[in-house]
């Protein structure tokens, strides 16, 4: 990842206009930098801002946490979310509240935040589904476009000109124009700001590359690959959420391709997208961000036309390949020429539309989706060359076969035409014989493109099916069949990964081992069926209690492990006590009886002196042993452990 020129960023920072937290949010961020900060002190400051309190409680109660009972207090919400995520949420909500409007007249601030909110919700949902266990994915999505907001804030007039020039162009063109005008671009600015705010490097790289993930050169299947493609898919889904009805038809097919890269089949993607839209609408009311009503994604998919439209005669096998009927758009301000071409081409079985200039031609391309364009060069408003250049910047326009009509065929003009993206030309006045010969060349190329398109669609279908199968096999290999929790193998692999992350970034890591008290007695008294019910109930309690960054697994018998990234020992012990009390309040059915389940929990924190991640498990196991010796139904942290 190329870093922004530091001297340039310092210049921009010195203006004092960069997006930054203020008020209660700034006080919270400063407080959370203190080593002895407590959940109670954080909650006390949050409560001074009723709006922020409501947003954090809403987030704690969101479906991503699957809480067993609703969270009603700020302190519970902070404990459930975890301090690292609270910090990122406070930052994101603060920037949103302070930058709802601005002076850049070409920058739609309301639409920007609506799209950013949808991106955040989609990114969090995809992260939960992919089990990437990254607690900042919501805020990562919310702030993924912060660079564009920054440029609109710092340079409202100049950036309005850049946005107008780049309208409809791909992201790379916008980046190029930004570099020319500001000596930086929105992706570089976003990366610099997130680094300034203390985001992890992997999320900074995710945001920097999400508009073009292939440039990131991430290894397929790696965590970085999953994060950047998840954010790319989230942004595409968000663009569809804010689009008008006509634009959604063009955006929807692209979602399936992005989903397949993450192993998500079409049906699962539609279900997830419907959930994202519902959450987006709920969050929009809470944050006062505009949203809109959308049909279900199944309804939108059903309204799409077939990938390739085939004429009835072709379907019956009677049409020669060289005479494939085409959808042709005639663009010419001379009505006599336009009418003549329409009648001529229609008589050969083609479907023909017309437009009087390039501007109207762009509208007709969107409306009728032609396969071939015949355009005059000289026209009012937008001439043929400008029209062709505009078409080539769009996805559908790049596929069109473009023939231009010209009165002059000198070498320089033809070079200009081909450089603009023209495929062929006709010199006026033209003969019907030459026109039809040029048209057959376009027919052959169009037919070849459609065959390639069908083959690609088949490859995507097969890839989607393989992705589903691979995900199912991987899930079976890493899942405990009784409790449906991740198994010992998954738990140990995850602990090793989090161990390496903690060691490399000096971030805290806590691990707890949980053992069901007197489980053998339950089996002996009520039978193994009741024992299985007890294990399933324990798994459900742990899953419901887990925070978004936690990793819960069954590691054997009646023993479970919970990995808590970015968690200090004191916070981990508080969390363990919350789990213990939840078990203490729970009963399971054992025939006519109701049986109470108690647990003993050992908690340990990563220490740089530990030689291997197994040392962390050993410390938690010693703490668990001490809890058993002390009478069971207790939480013991490693600092009070006496080794066996």
Antiparallel, parallel or unpaired: β 559-565 and 509-516: antiparallel
For residues 178 and 162, the answer to whether their CB atoms sit within 8 Å is yes
In the chain the first and final C-alpha atoms are separated, in Å, by 49
Distance CA 124, CA 141 (A): 8
Distance CA 218, CA 40 (A): 41
Around Cβ 588, how many Cβ atoms within 10 Å? 19
> Which residue, among 581, 538, 576, 575, has the nearest Cα to 558 in the 3D structure?
538
Distance CA 117, CA 95 (A): 12
Contacts of residue 402, Cβ cutoff 8 Å, sequence gap at least 6: 372, 373, 375, 388, 391, 421, 422, 423, 424
Residue 4 DSSP one-character state = P
- The DSSP secondary structure of 566-589, one letter per residue, reads T--HHHHHHHHHHHHHHHHT-EEE
Q: At what angle do helices 245-261 and 266-287 cross, to 10 degrees?
A: 120
Q: Which of 188, 211, 498, 558 is catalytic?
A: 558
Distance CA 215, CA 1 (A): 9
Around Cβ 15, how many Cβ atoms within 10 Å? 9
User: What's the burial of 533, exposed, middle or buried (CB within 10 Å: 0-12/13-18/19+)?
Assistant: middle
Identify whether 558 is a catalytic site residue: yes
Around Cβ 293, how many Cβ atoms within 10 Å? 6
Which residues are known to be catalytic? 558
């Amino acid at each position: 990842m190329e870093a922004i020129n530091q001297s340039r960023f310092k210049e921009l920072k010195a203006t004092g206009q960069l997006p930054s937290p203020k008020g209660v949010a700034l006080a919270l961020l400063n407080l959370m930098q203190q080593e002895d900060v407590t959940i109670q002190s954080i909650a006390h400051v949050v409560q001074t801002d009723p709006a922020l309190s409501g947003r954090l409680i809403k987030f704690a109660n969101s479906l991503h946490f699957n809480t067993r009972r609703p969270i009603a207090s700020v302190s519970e919400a902070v404990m459930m979310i975890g301090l690292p995520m609270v910090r990122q949420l406070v930052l994101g909500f603060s920037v949103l509240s302070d930058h709802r409007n601005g002076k850049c007249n070409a920058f739609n601030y309301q639409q920007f935040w609506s799209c950013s909110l949808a991106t955040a919700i989609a990114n969090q949902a995809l992260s939960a589904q992919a089990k990437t266990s990254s607690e900042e994915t919501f805020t990562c999505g919310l702030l993924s476009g912060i660079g564009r907001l920054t440029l609109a804030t710092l340079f409202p007039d100049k950036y309005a000109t850049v946005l107008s020039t780049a309208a409809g162009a791909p992201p790379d063109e916008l980046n190029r124009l930004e570099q020319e005008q500001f000596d930086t671009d929105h992706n570089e600015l976003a990366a610099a700001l997130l680094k300034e705010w203390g985001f992890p490097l992997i999320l900074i790289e995710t945001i920097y590359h999400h508009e073009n993930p292939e440039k990131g050169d991430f290894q397929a299947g790696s965590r970085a690959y999953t994060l950047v493609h998840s954010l790319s898919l989230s942004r595409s889904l968000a663009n569809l959420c804010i689009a008008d009805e006509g634009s959604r038809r063009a955006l929807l097919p692209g979602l399936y391709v992005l989903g397949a890269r993450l192993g998500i089949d079409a049906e699962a993607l539609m279900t997830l997208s419907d959930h994202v839209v519902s959450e987006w609408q709920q969050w929009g009311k809470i944050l006062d961000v505009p949203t809109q009503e959308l049909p279900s994604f199944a309804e939108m998919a059903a309204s799409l036309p077939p990938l390739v439209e085939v004429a009835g005669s072709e379907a019956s096998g009677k049409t020669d390949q060289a005479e494939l009927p085409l959808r042709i758009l005639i663009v010419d301000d001379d009505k006599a020429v336009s009418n003549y071409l329409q009648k001529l081409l229609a008589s050969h079985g083609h479907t023909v539309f017309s437009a009087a200039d390039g501007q109207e031609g762009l509208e007709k391309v969107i409306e009728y989706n032609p396969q071939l364009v015949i355009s005059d060069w000289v026209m009012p408003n937008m001439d043929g060359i400008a029209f062709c250049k505009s078409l080539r910047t769009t996805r559908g326009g790049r596929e069109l076969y473009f023939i231009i009509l010209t009165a002059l065929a000198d070498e320089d003009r033809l070079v200009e035409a081909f450089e603009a993206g023209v495929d062929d030309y006709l010199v006026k006045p033209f003969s019907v014989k030459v026109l039809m010969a040029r048209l057959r060349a376009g027919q052959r190329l169009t037919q070849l493109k459609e065959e390639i398109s069908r083959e690609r669609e088949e490859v995507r279908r097969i890839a989607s099916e393989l992705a589903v199968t691979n995900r199912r096999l991987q899930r079976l290999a890493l899942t405990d069949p009784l409790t449906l929790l991740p198994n010992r193998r998954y738990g140990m692999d995850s602990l090793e990964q989090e161990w390496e992350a903690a060691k490399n970034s000096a971030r805290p890591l806590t691990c707890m081992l949980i053992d069901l008290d007197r489980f053998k007695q339950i089996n002996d008294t009520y039978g193994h069926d009741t024992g299985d019910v007890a294990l399933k109930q324990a798994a459900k309690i742990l899953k419901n209690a887990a925070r978004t960054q936690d990793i819960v697994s069954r590691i054997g018998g009646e023993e479970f492990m919970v990995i808590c990234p970015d968690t200090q020992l004191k916070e981990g012990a508080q969390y363990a006590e919350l789990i213990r009390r939840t078990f203490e309040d729970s009963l399971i059915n054992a025939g006519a009886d109701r049986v109470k389940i108690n647990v003993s929990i050992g908690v340990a924190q990563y220490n740089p002196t530990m030689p291997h991640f197994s040392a962390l498990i050993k410390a938690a196991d010693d703490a668990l042993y001490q809890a058993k010796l002390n009478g069971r139904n207790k939480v013991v942290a490693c600092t009070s452990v006496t080794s066996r």
